[in-house]
Amino acid sequence: MSILEVQSASPEPIEYDDVKGQRKGLGLTGWIAVAVLSVMVLITVFGPMLYTVDPDNISLMDTFGPPQPGHPLGFDGQGRDLLARLVVGGRTSLLGPVIVVIISTLLGALLAFSAAWIGGTYDTVVSRFIDTMFAFPGLLLAIIAVAIFGPGLMAASIALAIGYTPFVARIIRSAVLRERNLPYVSALTVQGLGGLNISIRHLLPNVAGIIIAAATLSYGYALIDLAALSFIGLGVQPPQSDWGVMVAEGIPGLLSGYPQESLYAGLCIIIAVGAVNLLGDRFAAMAEEE
């Protein structure tokens, strides 16, 4: 082999992206999480149309019955079809946190933007108010609200949303504050643009990544908290189905050797929350990469 040949064999081009270890986009874990969540949402939305077994139909002959043709997961302690109840229960379990996230993000963003933009005494008052709110756990607020307004998904969700607001507000406020102090904001200010205009048209899009990450992560927490409320009987009321309710209703079976109901509902919660948290972490990492 001649020297020329050796020289002509050019070295492999270096993949700079690998060297820096930067990942663009969601990455594999992110896409797996998206896939899992999409499947769950699709099943809960369209499942009842395809799997037409009535989730509330009680068949006492089949109490704790094992899987059989037409009923792939078997029956619960009252002889209701487990798969049908899981699918319908997913609707409330997945929808409740959406209410929490929307309300807490809107309230939190409103507080955060006004505090970061106006600054001064107003910012101090809002920040101290947020700090004070941290002293009240969201669950405690929700329990108080349920005590006042009666149990149910709506009251629990709204109360939980108020409990979550300080967390969301604090994250968004620090992001907006950083963005607000960038020089381009003074350039816009001196062009005569108002605070509302700059906040909505410039600051909001530039901190949107962080807001989405915070919202996704709080969705996971809200799912668990709402399931917990339903578990202790303050959220979704039986006989309506919900994963939290199902875990609670499965306890007698758990004690007598039929753990399916609690187990399946618990697994659904774990898978959903796990996927949401993975996704939230990716969103947070992406917001930071920007």
Q: Please identify, using beta-carbon distances, which residue of 132 and 186 lies nearer to other proteins.
A: 186
Considering the complex, what minimum distance in angstroms separates the CB of residue 187 from other proteins? 4
Considering the complex, what minimum distance in angstroms separates the CB of residue 175 from other proteins? 15
Q: Please identify, using beta-carbon distances, which residue of 140 and 187 lies nearer to other proteins.
A: 187
Site string for other proteins, 102-121 (x = CB under 8 A): -----------------xx-
Q: How many of the other CB atoms lie within 10 Å of CB of 83? A: 20
Considering the complex, what minimum distance in angstroms separates the CB of residue 289 from other proteins? 14
Q: Does 206 bind other proteins (CB under 8 A)?
A: yes
Q: Does 190 bind other proteins (CB under 8 A)?
A: yes
Q: Does 125 bind other proteins (CB under 8 A)?
A: no
Q: Which of 58, 202, 204, 224 binds other proteins (CB under 8 A)?
A: 202
Q: How many of the other CB atoms lie within 10 Å of CB of 59? A: 14
**What distance in Å separates the CA atoms of residue 30 and residue 278, rounded to the nearest whole number?**
6
Q: Does 182 bind other proteins (CB under 8 A)?
A: yes
Tokens 């994963």, residue located:
243
Residue pair 97/78 in contact by the 8 Å Cβ criterion: no
Residue pair 277/217 in contact by the 8 Å Cβ criterion: yes
Q: Which phi-psi region, left, alpha or beta, contains residue 67 (left: φ > 0; alpha: ψ -120 to 50)?
A: beta
**Closest of 224, 208, 223 to residue 176, by C-alpha:** 208
**Closest of 58, 117, 94 to residue 219, by C-alpha:** 94
3 state DSSP class of 75: strand
Q: Does 184 bind other proteins (CB under 8 A)?
A: yes
CA angle 65, 260, 76 (to 5 degrees): 45
Q: Does 192 bind other proteins (CB under 8 A)?
A: yes
Q: Which of 22, 38, 132, 189 binds other proteins (CB under 8 A)?
A: 189
196 contact partners, CB below 8 Å, separation of at least 6:
none
Q: Does 2 bind other proteins (CB under 8 A)?
A: no
Q: Which of 32, 98, 143, 188 binds other proteins (CB under 8 A)?
A: 188
The residues that bridge with 75 in the sheet, in sequence order, are 81
Q: Which of 201, 238, 267, 274 binds other proteins (CB under 8 A)?
A: 201
Preceding peptide of 48 cis, ω within 30°: no
Considering the complex, what minimum distance in angstroms separates the CB of residue 217 from other proteins? 24
**What distance in Å separates the CA atoms of residue 126 and residue 169, rounded to the nearest whole number?**
10
Candidates 21-29, 144-152, 160-168, 194-202: pick the segment binding other proteins (CB under 8 A). 194-202
Counting residues that bind other proteins (by CB under 8 A) gives 19
Q: Which of 8, 10, 52, 191 binds other proteins (CB under 8 A)?
A: 191
Q: Which of 22, 132, 186, 256 binds other proteins (CB under 8 A)?
A: 186
Residue pair 26/282 in contact by the 8 Å Cβ criterion: yes
Q: Please identify, using beta-carbon distances, which residue of 53 and 193 lies nearer to other proteins.
A: 193
Q: Does 52 bind other proteins (CB under 8 A)?
A: no
- Residues at the contact surface with other proteins, assessed by CB under 8 A: 119-120, 182-184, 186-194, 197, 201-202, 205-206
